[in-house]
Structure 1
Amino acid sequence: MPSSLRSVLGLGGGKVKKRKSSSSSTPQRKNSSPSIASWPRTKPTRSLSSKSLGSTPNDGHDPSPSPLSTGTSIADLTNLIRTVPEALRLAQSTMFDPIPEAHSGMGSVRTAEILNYRAALPPVASIPHVTALLTATASNPSAIARDIEQAARSGEIRKIIIPMRGGLGETLIPTSDLDSLITKAQEKGLIDGHTKHGFLAYLRSNPGTTRIPRTVPSPDGNGLLLDVKQTDALVRAGFLTSPSGQNGGHIVSSFSRPEDKYTLMSVETVANAISGTFHAVGGRDVIHSSGGTGIPSALDTLTTTLSLAVPGNGTYLKLVAAAVAHLTSLLEKAQYREMTESSLKEKWNGGIAGDATSLAKRSRGEFAGILPGRTKKWKDFYGLRFEWVLDEALGMGVVEGFETGSVGRGIRLI
């Protein structure tokens, strides 16, 4: 067949071109088929996304509570502490929960009030709280008491004792923090430089004392280290307080010892006094101190000593006493006056769910329950941590822990 006829009929080179076009379209289908088949290949992508979600608690943006907010983590930390100053620092650093970043129910004004209130509290911790933290590492309470006395006599810490408050009124403060408070008081003009140096000199020369005379003589015998005006300035600044003002009434704390509730004088003080002295029978004005008639003698007024104090310690004691009282009231409402630690923590937090699902909903803005700022924990206690209050109650002996054997740890009211 002539080539011209082949070209007219579409044979010859046209077929070759058609085959080329068909052969060229075949790889296109082959190339398009993997793109369609790539849909089932989303499993590795899902695994990567789930892995990334699982790693979010380590990226610093996890809305769940910090590790210190669980009892197990605090127990792990207590196993690491060995000395009284370490326990004191741990008690100070784990006192409050962090303010929720989102959906807290608190405005900027309330947030500022909470932060200012926390900053105004003194850096102290009660002896029962420190004892509760050291119980896991010490052999017995007697060994802990010896360690506290040794740390106080060595000058690492300072004991601040407020009568009529029981164990709650026996607090500890690091010596460095007390020195900083005295320096700040001098910078604010509450005390002058001579009073500051004289007060610090007396504290350093008497590390284990909890009292100071109204007039402090100089160590070299020339003049006075602190006179009456200077000690009065320390009283106004909050570093000293009068024992007669503390004992001169019937205001007794709920956590006072039995001898404080009924006799209004400490059995421990009488037992340590020298036989045949006034202190062995309760003091020179024992009848007046116990609420009887009469007035204290002028000699006792002139020779009285002042007790060491910390500015803001009253606010601290009021907060802790109210928190422990609220914790015990929750147990009183429970059947048999006991409940599991997880249930007690949920009631302390105001019924706010703390599981992962609820926290994820809250982070996405889907949380529709009660907000943290509306609970008693944040309205009255400024975000006081549950584990911290529980350690305080355990150290004071108002509650005790026990193992249920099935649902975790239980807390019982004594």
Structure 2
Amino acid sequence: MPLRITSAPVSGIKKRKAPAHTRPRTSPFASHGRTKPTARSLGGEKSDDPDFDFDFDYAPLPDLGLSRHVADTAAVDNVLAAVQCIRDRMFEELPARAGMNSTRIAKVLNFRRSLPPLVSVAHVHTLLDAPTKVEREIMELATAGRIRRLIVPGRGNDAAGLGDCLVLTEDWEMLVRGSLLDTALKEKFLTVLSRIGNTCAIPGTIFSAPEYTALVRAGFIVSSSSLAKGTTSVPSLPNLPTTAPAAAASRTASATPSNTAEQSHSQFHTATLFLSLPNTGPYLKLLGAGRDHFIALLKKSKSGEVPLSLLRDRWNGGVESERSYSVAKRARGEFAGILPGKTKKWKDLYGMNFHWVLEEAIGAGLIEIFDTGSVGPGVRGF
């Protein structure tokens, strides 16, 4: 009687073969191609611009009316408090991982320290949002000598202009006393400031030619010619006479000093001179660059509207953060965002605060902020 070596033929399971004429059922979605979610915009087909950011391609946002987000979140109630708040919030603190070497960090800090304590009038209006009250208070403070209104000709004096600024009188006096001017000239200049009131023009007969030269070189006075050329960063001197050539010095040794002094004094007497502060030019240039970059980020949206939170992220440049998931990614050696020093915000704008430039743009009439009711405040340009 034969014995079975294995039980496979008995206990094994046999699969039934499908008939040869049977075909697999086709999916009803087989004719539709698969596409990535980021490759299709809300407004239509993909843009031809290789640098186009699809995160900005929003359809028009819901508009529930103008928002008071800035005025309601600003913890100020008068002009003096607004000026101090604006000055303190212009720049952000250096992050722990800045991505900049010591030389670059020193350059950033020194540049910030060198800027004058100016605040645009448009920015003050944005924080307080009470035009009549603000203008009345500015006039009262200027009359009382607590604040000075500095007008920079050639930079525009309307809301969008960069030439209408405020500075605290005590800050102005600190700059004068901390300068390299002679002590006697410092006191004389401060006396003249208190005497002329809130005007910006300086008569040509108050100071002598050497005193005017020292004040112009220190940045406290600029000539009309430099303002017309738009070069307020380095104040230009009036056409001062040069010394006589060496060959003629022996023949005109007695006449040259008196003639030089008279000619120099006459040129200052006829020149139009204006009050200024040191490094006013770099300050206005930085302010204009911040506005331009802000508007450029906003214009990346086809609809011209973008949520405020998204615009803030793009202003920061997609940098790594200290949130838990970013820290975990860095611990695993994964990419968690670029370092701040690689962004335009830190390379060109020295760490300018997003909310600061947002308020500047609102005050200048370049943008408006409105309530969406769904994604927080929205921003649109004009």
TM-score (norm 2): 0.67
Which stretch of structure 1 is more off in the superposition, 355-364 or 193-202?
355-364
The alignment of Structure 1 onto Structure 2 pairs a total of residues equal to 279
Map of 2:280 onto structure 1: 313
Amino acid at match of 1:307: F
- 1:122 is matched with which residue? 116
- TM alignment of 1:13-412, pairs within 5 A: 78=74, 80-102=75-97, 104-135=98-129, 138=130, 141-166=131-156, 167-185=161-179, 188=180, 191-216=181-206, 226-247=207-228, 249=229, 302-352=269-319, 356-358=323-325, 360-361=327-328, 368=335, 369-412=337-380
Structure whose CA Rg is larger: 1
Q: What residue ranges of structure 2 are gaps of 5+ in the alignment? A: 1-66, 233-265
- Taking the aligned partners of 1:230 and 1:403, their CA distance within structure 2 comes to 55
Q: In 2, distance between residues paired with 1:149 and 1:161?
A: 14
Contact 2:222-2:273 at 8 Å conserved across structures: yes
CA distance in structure 2 between the aligned counterparts of 1:361 and 1:95, rounded to whole angstroms: 31
CA offsets, 1:226-247, max 9 Å, x none? 3232122111110011124323
Give the fraction of aligned pairs with identical amino acids, expressed as a percent. 40
Aligned-partner Cα distance in 1 for 2:328–2:213: 57
Q: Deviations over 1:48-74 (max 9, x none)?
A: xxxxxxxxxxxxxxxxxxxxxxx9997
Q: Distance in 2 between matches of 1:337 and 1:403?
A: 15
Q: Please give the alpha-carbon distance, in whole angstroms, between the structure 2 residues aligned to 1:301 and 1:413.
A: 45
Give 1:124 shift: 1.2
| AA in 2 matched with 1:94 | R
Query: Structure 1 unaligned runs (5+)?
Result: 1-70, 217-225, 254-298
Following TM superposition, where does structure 1 have runs of at least 4 consecutive aligned residues deviating by more than 6 angstroms? 71-74
Match in the other structure for 2:245: none
Shift, 1:144, TM fit: 1.6
What is the RMSD of the two structures over their aligned residues, measured on CA atoms?
Answer: 2.8
TM-score, normalisation: structure 1: 0.62
Taking structure 1 as reference, are residues 301 and 204 closer, same or farther at Cα in structure 2, changes over 3 Å only? Answer: closer
1:238 counterpart letter in structure 2: G
TM-aligned CA distance change 1:403 to 1:74, over 3 Å? closer
**Deviations 1:179-223 (Å, cap 9, x if unpaired)?**
1111111xx3xx22221111100111233121211222xxxxxxx
* CA distance in 2: counterparts of 1:396 and 1:117, whole angstroms: 24
Question: CA contact under 8 A between 2:69 and 2:377: conserved in structure 1?
Answer: no
Higher helix fraction (1 or 2):
1
Structure of higher RCO (CA pairs closer than 8 Å, 6+ residues apart): 2
**1:68-90, Cα deviation, whole Å (9 max, x unpaired):** xxx99975662x32221111100
